[in-house]
Structure 1
Amino acid sequence: MKFRRKLLCSAALLALSTAAAAQQQARVSGDVVRIGVLTDMSGFLSDMTGTGAVTAVKMAVEDFGGKVLGKPIEVVSADNQNKADLAATIARSWFDTQQVDMIIDLGNSATGLSAAQVAADKNRIAIATSPGTTRLTNENCSATTVHYAYDTYALAAGTVSTLVKQGLDAWYFLTIDFAGGHSIEKDASDFVKAGGGKVIGAARHPIDTTDFSSYVLQARAAKPKVVGFATAGQSAINAIRTAGEFGLGKDVALAGLYVFISDVHALGLKTAQGMYVTTGFYWDRDEASRQWARRYFEKTRRMPTMIQAADYSATTHYLKAIQAAGTDEAGEVMKKMKETPINDFFARNGKIRADGRMVHDMFLARVKSPAESKYPWDYYTIKAVIPGDQAFQDMSKGKCTMALK
């Protein structure tokens, strides 16, 4: 009799456990976790994001085992064509008709802002790895948005502060005319002035500019000590290359405020050497970053940018949060994402603040000369580690009303 009661008790516990597991699995909406990679697939930012971002997200899903809470993980992707209205339309369609749970990357700052707003309206998670604008964690912050890899404040904090301290205190900016360009010009200008320097001029160019001759001549005529390239992707490559052809870098320092390793690769070390850049990731920094980057290289034949590495890290962090929360519901997943530190090849003790900013160390790097580079993609010398609490704007000085309550 005693044995029978024990057997019945065990059976009841097993039934309850099975029912709990089934209930947990049932909390995955549509019986699938679907991730949407929304980025620039064909335009001027495609080298630093693009298909490489999709590859990174798919690697994260594969490494996670392809399932979470017993349900399959699927990845969809789309080209936002650098159009804010198109990004919003795609995001809305994904949420309404394809049951996408999270969108990631998001492309340039304007497309990122529009897509993140749709996600907030639909109570879905948006992880911005590609946009630079600090508006994502300031006036446009939301409870479902994470700004993961970097922002324009962090890029400016490292590069500008260092050069101004070296006496390079008269700046001219060549800026791309969209939200991210405006944001980094403002942040960089603030750091120039805070260091006792001055901004003596600026010029803004359209996204589709290919001929930068007139802009470089304007910069030279202003006689600055530094030309800050607040422009990105192919536009940055074309602008910096033109500056080199006109000999601008011989007597004026060139600062790549929005320069990624893909841009340095395209420029070549002969042109890019000596330039200071700030980054949140460098593939050759330590053994963990090298191991992951080599796996990525096997799939793409290119080393990852900061954005592409962040796409992998953020996707993994999101999936771990679903596992811990027992659901893919946005509010509960975000709670776990903010509670859980991020420790991987991308970040050490990274943390997501109440305003959605993922805080982690940044790195000030100098681009090597051809003679200094010993092997392919050996492009950076890390000059300084900038602690996360110094690299990113203090939340108390921000404009995120949600976080300041």
Structure 2
Amino acid sequence: MATIWYISKYVTPPGVAKVGARGFLLLREFVQMGHRALLITSDSNHLANVPKLTSPRKEEAIDGVDVHWLRTRKYTGARSLGRILSWFDFEWQIRRMPLEGLPKPDVVVVSSLSPLTIFNGLHLRRRFGCKLVFEIRDIWPLVLTTAGGISPRHPAVMFLAWVERLGYRRADLIVGTMPNLREHVAEVSSSVRPVACIPQGLDPGLLAPPEPLSDDYMEAHFPENKFVVCHAGSIGADNALETLLACARAMMDRQDIHFLLVGEGYLKDRFVAEAADLDNVSFAPGVPKKAVQSILQKVDLVYFAVHKSPMMRFGQSLNKVIDYMLSGKPVLASFTGFPSMINEAECGTYVPAEDVEALRAEILRYAALPAEDRAKLGARGRDWLMENRQYKDLARDYLHHMGLDGQGAAYETPRRKGSCDF
């Protein structure tokens, strides 16, 4: 039996997380395979309904995982100085955390969003003589220079670039959720450390029957006898919904096609105002995670988009795509970059990011397909997801890369094709 510590400010159990709980679900699988897992996380997290701590630390066992909550500085916005200060406070609280009585780790995983946890990871490796895994879920500081438009010569960017290179050089293993991270590691570092891809997986909780929505909700937001193109999720800058709305405007002549945007976000009011004159567009309130499938199963085509960005060369692993493929509907993506999942499953198509005319043509092609052909496409996506994105399989892959094969329960099941090895 091996002991695995997983340290991340933004990883929480499924009952707490507003979005995917990938890290915890992997730890839960490690436990079921005979290992011991310990999660160190924070009570300051805009992506989860975290407990309110009245003391510096709180410990509890959830699904066999030892969870250690640390009380850290709170912040008010995802894009705020307070959030950055909260990162530093989390690192300080880890250093202050009493380690006596905790099980000695065989592996310590330090996982972004904040890359600063690599410092504590290096400290713990020196103290315990364990392996260190540097896990990348957002590529910092590339996200600042591409999406944020900040100069590469900005002091904060230069500092984070140094931290990133340090992690790539000093960790024993680099793991990314993006399928082409190895190319980025090679570009920014001389590291010869192994790189592996452990992407987002299928939360088994989503396999239960979806939570039904009220008749009033469905009647108010779902048009009858129309081909419905749906975006479900956050409505913010990262979702590139300008392309979809421009496409809707270009398709005003096709009143049999309707565009439905479900979700909340800081840009929703602006987009609602901009689309006020479009009778082929409607916005619906966001729904609980457990009810998302009730919406997706009622539409004809599911859609997501990203902006043109150099960062997309390394690919993405999005919870949204998991939800979409699970729905059994064909997936259409405005995406220019390293493809994965949709092309592997052959359950949809990509069109170039921000290309309104290409998007329009592809929507028309899907609308012209017989319903049974669209159903076959969608079914391929769901079947591929069940075969390739179960967390028990992803956890087994992770243990293999950490060198822990055979140290817990038996691992007779062969590793899957297309498991994102590099």
TM-score category (smaller protein)? 0.3 to 0.5
Higher relative contact order (CA 8 A, sep 6+): 1
TM-score (norm 1): 0.36
More helix by share: 1
TM-score (norm 2): 0.35
